[in-house]
Structure 1
């Protein structure tokens, strides 16, 4: 199915209510969207590209309420001081991974995700895109077919083993680099508390949190969210809002209490050595690319003074080595402080 041609659809309110999804219908014409963007352009330094081709990626859509005052107010606060669209997109990226937790649960609106500070991959992508659009940066959904194994990290084993099918559609966000006229994928699915590895986006290359051999193909891009299709999948699995809060949330919260060493062991036990190494390897390349950019410093799970890198170098980590494995993170914290290794 080519997502790029899919139109925004009316949400099935009955199905949404059954799953515990709160939603308030709205409508905005193109003229209203353009006028709103003109007002936003008075508050941001980049020129908002109000063209026929990009307008669909700037307007509010189902579960991506870029017009909402709470979304706009928060977005302007996040990007304060940004000089370019990619500066702003990176600020939003780090906000999403540090402030918005991952949670296996049915879809929710962007304002609801902002208030509760959590959401699934599609909810986090929707909020990220809403924040981008609300400050005049085009944002779109990216859809990738992947093995269901991607969910295994954050769901109790007994629940995962009962989930039907072997595949799922992973959804993430693309941000439009206005100055370079280029789309860049920037996946914020997990939060820092669930990642034992440095979690960075360099603002230049695509970031997708999938092991290469899990990814079975790219489905497409779209300004819209296939809301009813996804609601149907959650109903099929019995994943209501109450069920997820009762049976899955405690497990995910427990993972956030683990040390980096313990979390690395969880990744290896759950995914296997090869897949755990792949996660470390993928994120390490973005860490290095970001590391070399003098304009930004990499952010870690714990506060770190990055002006003095001697701790990292003395620890034995070759920070520019183009290869990494999960064992490195078991032996050393990302701040360079050694763990007590059993």
Structure 2
């Protein structure tokens, strides 16, 4: 079964082809990705209308490239999957519209995929895929959640952010420091030149006794410290960036370890854009090695939004009979779509 996946939820256009032959883990045949970062840099953030228009320009050429690289014909595709939500409404409509048009033209079924489930299952694309069950740290620009994953579609929510996500904390703190877009990677890069213990910043909810997160207070503390430094901010910017990153990472690591303790699991999966953070990987790897816990990540190029994770999530749901693709080509998108509505989240 060949699944063509289309991702267009925000500022990356991704297309990929996954082969779900047999009962094993589906295999990635080919993928292509176009990032809109350069286009949005002039505006300091994503402009939804520009994002949608660029998806229209990119998606079909990317699909041709993917099929050509896999030496497949469009008629070889068995299912066309697309990101149904959450995300920017106009951007989602581009991917959904193209998927439905392809499905109707080919007489092949389509399947809308939850963007977060794509991230959640993306480590199965890696050379070292995990095994069920495991704890998952889903950490991206808009979401920070801890879950116990028993199988495809069987997810138990352990904790989540009550305000800003970790990715937002990175991005908003970067903006306060006058760094460029995208802010998270810029702050992480600058952190390499600074000391993580230079400034005493809060670790919100670190000792709350539960697995929820909160990063809004950290952002406020960064703003307060930046104002306090005043004209001396430039000289201490790397230290403040490093201290901010250290605070975020400490919370993520300690909450993840607490989730492992609570569930008794010996395997953790880290997914989402912030999962590419070098310090997070280093500290989580070290802490888990002491406990005999396996840590799984998608490869760095699969941490951000991409079509491969959408095709993989669709293929795994179809294999597990958690969902059936449809040949009804009317569609809607869900810009706000709780993962609980996908089914199985408790």
TM-score if structure 2 supplies the norm length? 0.25
TM-score if structure 1 supplies the norm length? 0.25
Q: Which has the higher helix share?
A: 2
